[in-house]
Amino acid sequence: MSGRLAQKILEGDEKSAARLISLIEEGEQEGYRELSLLYPHTGKAHVIGVTGPPGAGKSTITGKLAVVLAKEGKKVGVVAIDPTSMQGKGALLGDRLRMKDAESEGIFIRSMANRGYSGGMARATAGAACVLEALGKDTVIVESLGAGQAEKDVFYLCDTTIIVFTPDYGDEIQLLKAGLMEIGDIVIVNKGDLPGTAEAQRELSICASTRIGTDGWTPPVLVTRADKGEGLTQAAKAINDHWSFLGRERRQQKRKEKTRTFVEDLVKEEMWTRFSSAVRGDKECIRITEDAINRKIDPYSAARQIIEKTLLTIKTPTED
C-alpha cells in the first residue's frame, strides 16, 4: 500500500495529491511516509509567499497573480491558509471564494486550516507545497493567514516573500514592530485607489531601501488594485526578477539556512504537541500546577518539575 499515492502524484493525479495533503494535515503517519517518497523529487520549484495584515487583499492578489503567472507558461499551484472553523475544525474556504479566476483557469488550489498554530501557517503547509511540486508544479504560491509578527513563519518556507499593505497601514513604528518589512522581497500597496497611496508607497520605499541583509536586492514597492487586476503584471515581473537575482547558488544557500530554521521550528512544535498530550489530565502535573497557583512553590520550580516528570513519559506516535 505504501508508495501508491506518491506514485500517482508523480504521474500527475490531482485527486491523489488532495488525498495526501489531507493525510498530512491530519497528522497521519501514512501521509508522512508517502511524503518522504516524494521529497527526493522536489527542491526546484519557485515557492512564493504572500502575507501581510488582515484585510489587505492577499487572497485576491494571490488568485490574480496565479493567473498571470500561469499565462506566462508556469505550472502554478496555490496553498491558501484559512482560519479554522470552530465547529468542523476545517478551513472556512473564504480565500477560495476570492480566487474564482484562478480556479476557472484550472489552477490547483488547496485551502488548509490554520488549526491555531502560531504564525498563521498550517502545520502541513510545507508538506502541501512539497506535494504540489511533486505533482508537477514549478511555481507554488502560499498565502498565509495574516496575523502580524508571527507571519515570519512564511519566510522560512518561501524563496520570494511578498508583503501586502494598504495605504492606511499605520505609522512606521507599528510597521517595524510587525516585523513584516524585514522579510519582504517585494512590497505591494494594494487598494491603490484609496487616499494616501502615493505617500504610503514613498514611505515604504524608504523603509525597503534601508533594509539590512538583503544581499544587494532592494525590495520594489508596487501599487496594485487587485480587484481590477491592475498592477499584477508588474508584480509578476518583480517575482521573476527576484528569482533570477537569486540565481542557483544563492537559492541553494538561502534554502539551506531557511530549512535549518524550519526544522528547528517543527521540532519545537512536535515536542510541544507530545508534551501537551503527556501533561493533559496527569494528576501529578495538575497537583504541581495547583501548588504554584496556591503559592506553595514558585512557577519556575513548578515548570521544572512538570518537565522532569513528563520527559520520561513522552512517546513516539504509533507507526501502525
> Is 129 within a domain?
yes
| pLDDT in the model for residue 97 | 61
Task: Looking at the structure, tell me whether residues 52 and 84 fall in a common domain.
Answer: yes
Last residue of a domain, one of 247, 274, 301: 247
> Is 288 within a domain?
no
Write the CB contacts of 239 (distance below 8 Å, at least 6 apart in sequence). 46, 48, 65, 69, 160, 162, 186
Whether the CB-CB separation of 86 and 113 falls below 8 Å is answered with no
Q: Which domain holds residue 12?
A: 1-41
| pLDDT in the model for residue 301 | 95
Task: Looking at the structure, tell me whether residues 218 and 93 fall in a common domain.
Answer: yes
Q: Is the dihedral of CA 152, 157, 162, 166 positive or negative?
A: negative
Q: What is the pTM of this model?
A: 0.82
> Is 266 within a domain?
no
Report phi then psi at 182, rounded to 5: -70, -25
| pLDDT in the model for residue 1 | 46
| pLDDT in the model for residue 150 | 46
Low-confidence ranges of the chain (pLDDT < 50): 1, 85-92, 116, 118-120, 148-150, 173, 177, 320
Whether the CB-CB separation of 79 and 66 falls below 8 Å is answered with no
| pLDDT in the model for residue 213 | 57
Last residue of a domain, one of 247, 277, 293: 247
